[in-house]
Amino acid sequence: MTRWVATVDGQVTPVDVDGRDGRYRIVVGDQALEVDARRTADGQYSLLVDGVSHVADVAPADRGARVDVDGSTYLVEVEEHTRHLIRTRGAAGTRGGSQTITAPLPGKVTHVAVAPGDRVERGDPLVVIEAMKMENEFKASAAGTVHEVRVQPGQSVNAGDVLLVIG
C-alpha cells in the first residue's frame, strides 16, 4: 500500500492506494473504492469506480493538475504522505503562543540555525534534518524567542522527538 495526501480545490485528504496493473483499492478519507483505471489517450483516462464508468481528462496546472470529470473541474495536488508530514507537521505546532517543533520521521540533524535566546520571525530557518536521502528545512511558523534547542548537528532523531521550543 502507498500513502498519499491529495489536495483537491484546497481540501486536504489522506489517500491510500493498493493494487497494480490498473486495478486498485483506494481509500480516500474513510471511504474505500474499487477502481479500474486505464489510460485511453494522452491525458485521458477511463475509470470504473465501484462499477460506475467515468472519463477523466488530466492536464498540468501551476501546482498539480486540472482534472475534468463528469462535467466538473478540480485542481488536484498529490504528495507522498511522508513528504506532506515533513512539510506541514514537522514545521511547527502552535499552542498558546508557543511552537514545539518535532521530527515527523526518523532522520539525522544536519544543521541547527538557532540558539536559546534567539529571536525568530515567521519563515526563519530553524533546523535541517536529512531523512530518506532528502534534506528538509524546518522554519518558524510564527515570530517568537527560542527557549530550548534539544538537538545538535549529527544527532539522530526519531519521529515525534522534540527538536526545539519557541515561545
Residue of 134 and 110 predicted with greater confidence: 110
How high is the pLDDT of residue 153? 95
Name the grid cell of 42: 494522452
Out of 3.30.700.30, 3.50.50.60, 2.40.30.10, 3.30.420.480, select the CATH number for domain 2-81. 3.30.700.30
The ranges assigned to domains in the chain are: 2-81, 89-166
Q: Which residues have C-beta within 8 Å of that of residue 1, sequence separation ≥ 6? A: 16, 17, 18
Cα separation of 147 and 149, whole Å? 7
Mean pLDDT, the chain, whole residue set = 87
* CATH value of 89-166 in 3.20.20.100, 3.30.420.10, 2.40.50.100, 3.30.365.10: 2.40.50.100
Query: Which positions ≥6 away from 142 have C-beta within 8 Å?
Result: 92, 94, 99, 122, 166
pLDDT per position as a tens digit, 26-40: 998 889 999 999 999
Note whether 122 and 140 are within 8 A (CB): yes
